[in-house]
Structure 1
Amino acid sequence: MRKAERFQRFLEYFTTHFPEPETELAYGNPYELIVAVVLSAQCTDKRVNLITPELFRQFPTPAHLAAATAEDIFPFIRSVSYPNNKAKHLAGLGRLLVEEFNAEVPSSLEELQRLPGVGRKTANVVMSVIYNQPAMAVDTHVFRVSHRLGLVPKTAKTPLAVEKELVRYIPESLIPKAHHWLILHGRYICVARQPKCSICPLTNICAYYARQVAPLVKNIPSLPAEENGLPSA
């Protein structure tokens, strides 16, 4: 199957069956989202959502976070991965937001990446989710699913290489949604160790399935969207 056709079928499926995907991080404004995304690095969204309500009650604005030290922040995030580093990042993030950005979360890749704890992936999430810009954040799920489906070549060995390949074939208007489609598919179906090919609706376009599964298992039917394991749209 040609790459352009694979992308077309991927986009057609999700625009039909899951047209309005959203991040699973809980947030109420751009400040809360960027804090949540920083905390979510190598940590589950579920765990982050458990701790952020109390964190935001204690530090409801960038100014409150800017006035805090890493030691002040640590007790509220101790259960996430790498809490010491993340506490330092958040303290610095709050100060920079207040001192250089008038307590507003910037919208450009360059400015976002100046904030402590914010790399290209985090910046792309904020640009996509908050500002609806055509930014493709590549996390472990996006990286894995893109390769398994055959959307990107084996030579795309870095997140940046995968990002560049994806944005070449996905219309700009759909890039913010495609980011979520790939993440959710990787989180619930195309999981790392044992992908759930038996309930995957994309086996007819999947390079991994054609190479690894189809020779062993014949005629596994695709399921309709409501049975495919993804959260309800």
Structure 2
Amino acid sequence: MKKIILLALFAISASVQAQVVSILGNDEEITEGQTFTFSNLTERAKINLVVTNLSDEPINLKLKANSLSNPTNMNIQFCFGTECYFNISAGSTVPSDVAGLTLQPGETNPEGDHFQNANPGNGVDPVTYSLSLVKVSDSGEILEVLRTFNYVYSPAASLTDFSALQNMGITVKNTVVKNQLEVSANQTATLQVVNINGQVVKTIAIKNDNQVIDLSGLTSAVYFARFTTQQNKTAQIKIIKN
């Protein structure tokens, strides 16, 4: 009985803690560890951030850059609390005020806070950022990480990738995938979906026909679709799962 009561108290505590703030990214609640993937450097490749204090006490907030991977320059917009940085490194926080942005109960951050990348990297490898919204003390000490999410810019697939597949008799009809990858083939083959760490996360038999492949179970990220024919010819193309 005591164990049940303790578990219930832990569940209530976790629920209350999770409701300290609402964090919207492009009008949808951001989940812990969520990845936003973009294949362009336009205004559309932006995460608009709307943060609301759901607690009954004032809260001090900052946006923190945890890590950066493959940027070749720092052409970004790291904006929170009406302040923007265009050149950041791992550990950077915004706004610069020691106590960050203070939100009263029920208050929302100023309009226009966002994160956007305009950094092309090397044109091949993904440019990635790990970001967190953190709660800080009046003296600037980080008290709690409220939410962590990722921003990935991945260059679109090249014409060479498409040509290599077409020479094998395979056509990939969409490289940006929400739930389904559409493939047309004039021979049988094997498709392996590989993540950026080189791990095969899904294997599918490709038929000599049009085929719709369900990728809804994969998390949002950059992957490689690797096709191998019965003659052991191999080609791959980059796909983006949103």
Q: What TM-score do you get using the length of structure 1 for normalisation?
A: 0.24
Q: What TM-score do you get using the length of structure 2 for normalisation?
A: 0.24
> Which protein is richer in helix relative to its size?
1
> Which protein is richer in strand relative to its size?
2
